[in-house]
Structure formats: C-alpha cells, structure tokens
Chains A and B, each alone.
Chain A
Amino acid sequence: MLAVLDRLRAWIERVGYVMGCAAGWLFVVCAFFISVDVLGRKFFGVSSKATVELTGYMLAFGIAWGLTDALTTRCHIRVDVLVTRMPQGLRAYMHALALAFLVVLNFFFVWRGWAVVGESWMFGAHDSSAITTPLIIPQGLWAAGMTVFLFLSVTMLLEVIVLLVLGERERVDRLLGARTLAEETAEALEAAAIATRK
C-alpha cells in the first residue's frame, strides 16, 4: 500500500516538475511576446490585437501548471511558527490536517473550474479579441493543471494517513515539514554562484 502510494507520488511529482518547467518557459515566451507587441505597436503600428487575452491565458496556465511542483518543493506558504515548535507527534497530525484542508480547497477549485469549462463548451464561448479564442482551450488547460495538483495533494494525504496509522511520524515530518534554512539558502547560493562564476 505504502509502496504503491510512494511510487504514485513520485510519478505525479515528475509530471508536476515537467509541468512547472512548461509554466516557467511560457513566462519567458510571454515576456518576448508582450515586448514584440509593444515595440511593434509603437514603431510599426502592428499588433496581435489579442495580447491582453493571450497573456492572460498564459498567466492562468502558468499559475495552474506550476502548483504541483510548488507543493513538491514545499513552497506553498503556511504559517508554521507554532507548528515547528510542537512535539513531533502532534506536528505530524498538524501536517495531515493542513494537507486535508488543501485537498478540500483543491477539490472545490477543480470541481468548479471544470464547471466553468463545461459552461464555455455548452455556450460555445469565445473571447472578444481579434482571434476569438474558444474559451474551453485556455480554461481546459487551466483546470487540468489544478487537477494534477489535486491528484498530488490527495496522494500525499493518503500516504500521510497510512504513515500515521503505522506510527511513522518522523517520515510524515520529512514529507511535509517546513523547508529547512539550509534548503532555502542553498537555492539562493546556487543562483548567486551562477552570477559570480567567471
């Protein structure tokens, strides 16, 4: 049971990583797209006439597709001043509780997110930009991103519950505990190292 969940989680995490990279690179594309559009409009009088809409979809895509990787890397913000000071036993249950709340939130986001897609599909909704994007494309991608996020949070919750039943509180803490100082600074240092490397 535990091994299956563990493998499933690792698999979703890998998918999430690729999705996160896609989201990040789309922001790079987005920057070039807007820049070209601004310069084109100012100097040549040409524009895609759909920049506001398209970059908006890129943002929705980017937020939704990056969510999973942010959970894997424990980036989502919790107010954990008290939790980190609790004894390990209690802390493990608090982690489970936090995750359960996240699952509830995600469930509503995914459920209502797909409902938005469904409505757009039913009415054949298009946006009012020059290229009249059918709304189900950006909305569908957006909802799909949130769905993978829901899968990961559910898998993690199940894994945590199994671990709690088995009494392995330490492993729960390792799975969900706050990023240690070392982890966070390692990231900043790595980036700084790229900058100062000659």
Chain B
Amino acid sequence: MIAFFFLFILTVVMLLLAATGTVTMSGPIGGLALLSLVFLVFFCAGIYVAAALGVLGLLAGFVVSDRPLHLFIGEAIWIPSTNFVLVAVPLFILMGEVLLRSGLSNKLYRALNLWFRRLPGGLLHTNILACAVFSAIAGSSVATAATIGAVALPYFEKTRYSQRMVLGSLAAGGALGNLIPPGITFIVYGLITETSVGKLYLAAFLPGFMLAGLFMVLIFVYGLIYPYREEALGLSWRDLLRSLLDLIPTAVLIIVVLGTIYLGLATPTESAALGVVGALIFAAIDRKLTLKMVHAAAEATARTTSLIGLIILAAFALNYVLTSLRLPQALAAMVSGLALPSWAVMSIIIGFYIALGTFMEGFSMIITTLPVVFPIVTALGYDPIWFGVIITMLVEIALISPPDGTVVYVLQGMRITPGPITDVFVGVTPFVLVYMVGVILLMAFPDIALWLPRIVK
C-alpha cells in the first residue's frame, strides 16, 4: 500500500513538473518514461523479472533505434557470463550452503550465549551478535537468518521472551548478512557500476557494525522496560574462557575470507574459494561432511546462481541497449538540471527504493534500477562507494519489510511454536525503523562509510 501511494505521489510530482515546463517530456526522456510505464505493467502482470528486463531492452532497441541492436546481445551476455569478479557469487552462495549444513553455527551461538545472556535483553543480544559474526563469513541475508534461526529458535522454547521480539531480532540480524562484508550485493553492484568490490567491503564495515550496535541498544532499552533476567548458571571465568574455543572455527574462517581481502592478499573471488574449502574442512572436522551434504549444497548453489545469473544477463542486455541509446546520460543530465537540491533527489531515490522493496525482491530490485539510477547519483556528485553501501542497506530493509520480505518468510517457516505471520512483522518493525535511522545517519555523516576506504590505500 505504502509503495503504491509513494509511486503515485512520485508520478503526480513528475506530471506537475512536466506541466510547469520544468521538465520536457520529449526525446529520449519521453521514451524512457514510456519504457518505465511498460515496465510497471510487466511487473504487475507477474512477468519473470529477467524476461521483463530483456524484452524491454529488445523493444527499446526495435522502437527507438534503427540499428539492429538485438544482434549484439550475444556478446553483451557472454562477457558478464565469464566475469572473474562474478565468479565470487556462486562461491559465496556455496560457502553459505555448506555452513548452513555444517553445524558451525551451533558452537558460535552457544559460546556467545554464555557471554551475553545476563545483559538486559538477554538471549536477544545473542541473536544479533551471532548473526553479525556469521555475516562476516556468509554473503547472504537469507542464509544468515536461516542458519542462525535454526540454532537460536530452540533456545527460546519454554522461555518467557516475547515471540515477536525473538523473531524480530533474528530477522534484523539476518538483514546484516549482506551489509557486513562479504556480501553478494556488493559484488553485483561493483560489477554493474565498475567500482572496486574491495573498497565497497571496506566501506561497509563500520556501517554494518554500527547497525548491529544500534540493534543491541534497542534490545537493551527493551530489556530495561520489560525486565527478564536469565538465571545465573554459576559459571567460572575458566568455563567462560573455555567457551571461546568454540569460536575458533568461525574466527579462522573470518580471517581466511575477510582478512585476506582487507590485507590485499586475495581478491574477493579468491577469498570466497578459500572460504568454501575452509567451510568444508570444518564440516569434516565436525563429522558433518558427507557426499549427500555436499551434493545438496551444490544443487542449491546451482539453482540460486542460475536465477541470479539469468537476471544479470538480461540486465546486461537491457543495459547494452540503453547505453547505445544514451538514455542514462540523458536522464542524468535532466536530473542534474533540476532545481532541486541534491539531497532532496537522493531522498526521493531512497524513498523510491524503500517503496519498491515492499513488493520486490531486493536483489532484482537493484539490478533492475541501477543502470538508470547510478548515472543520476554520480551526476549529483555522490560517491559511488557510499551509494553502494546505502543501496545495500535499502536492499536489506526490503528483505525484512512486510509484506514481501524473504527473510521474514523464512523465519516464519522455521518457527517451532506456530503463530500468525503478523508476529514477525510486528516484531521486526522497530528494527526496520532503526535500520532507517542508520540510513539517515549515513546520509548525514558519509564518512562512516568513506573513512576506512580513505585511510586504507
């Protein structure tokens, strides 16, 4: 509902601007407006996202240009198909699938739980922390929520924690999965916009942990309002320190994956490959490594890679046509010629993504829109790296915002005590608001993201 309302307002504003002569609806811009309209119709009709993108590109080529642009589609899709940076995507997915089945998250959760259970808010902190730490090895939000959720939910059986807060905190924690490096969204963003994935990972580091911190503050305050203390287990410091041993596999994987990227020892693709091997080794140590397990992981990886791949290929086909027609440049020129201040345009863009995210899957959302939005953003003078972090945060918000948040549905499906889906929606809402506060903070203080990439050169 919010989405359609927002899009409606946006259309009205555009029409008003056109009527007052601020914007001329002719030439390529008029064509683009028409295309966007066709696009909206495609989406409402439930066309496959990839097919909508590709057919739109073909149409644009046939209608607007007299060159046979469609003949070059083969090259346009073969080149991204073999891109070495993109190889990181299936590898990170595979690593996540292996970790999901490896039992590593059990140990992680148990150890963190011993340390944080006595804080106001108790186990809920462990949800956020376990997700945040797990995010530093996994590249996907759904994988993070599923992995930690499977381990965490049994802990909350027969406790007096509010189901809503439990599910909400797990969804929020899951929504750190793509933001805290390494994340798949950054790879795709880097590929489409030709920015450095390594720099994006550096930039996302502080915002990611800032959000985890904000979530914990929220839980802390909640814990003060509704006090509920876990009973003391009477653990000595020795027990506590021994529990840290359980964190070793996770720590090693973090060093293998993130450490090698940050120290410049490996590219994201190489570190993803090392991560897969590392995850398999730890699964073997835990006696979870079977042929059946690897087969299930491989099968799931192939499927996910292909569904992402098809959309990427179609987006490149569309992108090729659009760039040949010089549409993005024309649009960027138009927007930078607007009388609006750049922060206002950025706010509209962010509002647009939040609205889009309520009914569109986050990943296809950015691939679909970036070719058009990115030139506008750079024309306004924003830093591409900073925008990459912002857009990833918006994708994450999309993943947990009702009514179409994938992470929310995964958690709902994993519940042990059944209940209505509205529990998850209500529970996640305060966290979504905190997430939006995070976006605003990053808009006000871009250095939260840009400081690290600047000092590490």
CA of A63 to CA of B87 in the docked complex: distance in angstroms? 10
Q: Which residues of B contact A190 (CB under 8 A)?
A: 296
The segment out of A7-15, A68-76, A158-166, A167-175 that lies at the interface is: A68-76
Q: Decide yes or no whether A3 CB sits under 8 A from chain B.
A: no
Q: Nearest A residue to B154 by beta-carbon distance?
A: A196
- Nearest Cβ on chain B to A100's Cβ, whole angstroms: 9
When the two chains form the complex, which single residue of A73, A76, A115, A195 contacts B74, counting CB atoms closer than 8 Å?
A115
A46 adjacent to chain B (CB < 8 Å): no
A16–chain B nearest beta-carbon distance, Å: 10
Which residues of A39-86 are within 8 A (CB) of B?
Answer: 42, 52-53, 55-60, 62-67, 69-70, 73, 75-83
Chain A residue nearest to B413 (CB atoms) is A185
Q: How many residues of B contact A (CB 8 A)?
A: 86
Q: Answer yes or no: B274 CB below 8 A from chain A CBs.
A: yes
Provide the A90-117 mask, 1 if CB < 8 A to any CB of B, else 0: 0000110110011011001100111110
Chain B residue nearest to A84 (CB atoms) is B46
Find chain A residues with CB under 8 A from B295 CB: 21, 24-25
Cβ-based interface call for B412 (8 A): yes
Cβ-closest chain B residue relative to A83: B46
Which residues of A lie under 8 Å from residue B46 when comparing CB positions? 78-80, 82-83, 94-95, 98
Question: In angstroms, how far is the closest chain B Cβ from the Cβ of A14?
Answer: 14
Contacts of A28 in B (CB 8 A): 94, 276, 294, 298
- A94–B52 Cα distance when bound, in Å, is 13
Contact A116 B78 (CB under 8 A): yes
Q: Are A108 and B58 in contact (CB under 8 A)?
A: yes
Contact of A59 among B81, B310, B403 (CB under 8 A): B81
Which chain B residues (80-137) contact chain A, with CB distance < 8 Å? Answer: 81-84, 86-87, 90-91, 94, 97, 100-103, 105-106
- Rounded to whole Å, the gap between the CB of B246 and the closest CB of chain A is 15
| Cβ-based interface call for B409 (8 A) | yes
Q: Is the CB of B301 within 8 A of A24?
A: yes
Bound together, the chains give a CA A141 to CA B288 distance in angstroms of 34
Instruction: Report how far A63 CA is from B49 CA in the complex, Å.
Output: 16
Residue of A nearest to B76 (CB): A112
Q: With A63-B81, A181-B413 in contact, do A21 and B298 touch (Cβ < 8 Å)? A: yes
Tell me the smallest distance from the CB of B213 to a CB of chain A, in Å: 28
| A76: B residues at CB distance < 8 A | 48-50, 307, 310
CB neighbours (8 Å) of B72 from chain A are 112
B16 at the A/B interface (Cβ < 8 Å)? no
**Are A27 and B90 interface neighbours, CB within 8 A?**
yes
Q: Which bucket holds chain A's interface residue count?
A: 35 or more
Q: Which of B10-60 contact A (CB under 8 A)?
A: 42-52, 54-55, 58
Please state if A77 and B103 are interface contacts (CB–CB under 8 Å).
no
Q: If A32-B277, A194-B293, A195-B106 touch, does A77 touch B49 (CB 8 Å cutoff)?
A: yes
A35 contacts B by Cβ under 8 Å: yes
Q: A191 vs B303: C-alpha distance in the bound complex, in angstroms?
A: 15
The residues of B that contact A94 with a CB separation of less than 8 Å are 45-46
Q: Given A58-B87, A78-B47, A112-B71, are A27 and B301 also a contact pair (CB < 8 Å)? A: yes
Distance, CA A28 to CA B279, complexed state (A): 12
When the two chains form the complex, which single residue of A59, A64, A194 contacts B288, counting CB atoms closer than 8 Å?
Answer: A194
CA distance A123 to B42 in the complex (A): 40
**Which segment of B203-211, B356-364, B392-400 sits at the interface?**
B356-364
**Beta-carbon contacts of B271-296 to A below 8 Å, as 1s and 0s?**
01110110000000000100001111
A130 in the interface (beta carbon within 8 A): no
The complex places the Cα of A194 from the Cα of B297 at a distance, in Å, of 11
Confirm or deny: B404 has a beta carbon within 8 angstroms of a beta carbon on chain A: yes
B270 lies within 8 A of chain A by Cβ: yes
A38 on the interface (CB 8 Å rule)?
A: yes
Does A195 lie within 8 Å of B294, measured CB to CB? Answer: no
Q: Is the CB of A188 within 8 A of B84?
A: no
Least CB distance from A180 to B in Å reads 10
Q: B97 contacts A191, CB within 8 Å?
A: yes
Q: Judge if B171 is at the interface, Cβ distance under 8 Å.
A: no
A73 contacts across to B, CB distance below 8 A? 303
Given the interface pairs A28-B94, A56-B83, A60-B82, the reply to whether A81 lies near B359 with Cβ below 8 Å is: yes
Whether a CB of chain B sits under 8 angstroms from the CB of A30 is: yes
Output the least CB separation between A101 and chain B (Å): 4
Interchain CB contact under 8 A, A105 and B50: yes
Is the pair B48, A67 in contact by a Cβ cutoff of 8 Å? Answer: no
Q: Does B304 contact A (CB under 8 A)?
A: yes
Q: Are A56 and B412 in contact (CB under 8 A)?
A: no
Chain B CB within 8 A of A150 CB: no
In the assembled complex, the CB of B106 is this many whole angstroms from the nearest CB of chain A, namely 7
Contacts beyond the supplied A101-B48, A188-B150: 10 A-B pairs with Cβ under 8 Å: A20-B299, A20-B302, A38-B270, A75-B307, A78-B47, A79-B360, A104-B58, A108-B73, A191-B101, A192-B150
Could you list 14 examples of A-B contacts with CB < 8 Å?
A23-B306, A27-B94, A32-B277, A66-B309, A69-B306, A70-B307, A78-B47, A83-B46, A102-B50, A109-B317, A112-B77, A116-B74, A116-B78, A196-B150
- Counting from the closest, the 4 A-B pairs by CB-CB distance are A185-B413, A24-B298, A112-B74, A56-B82
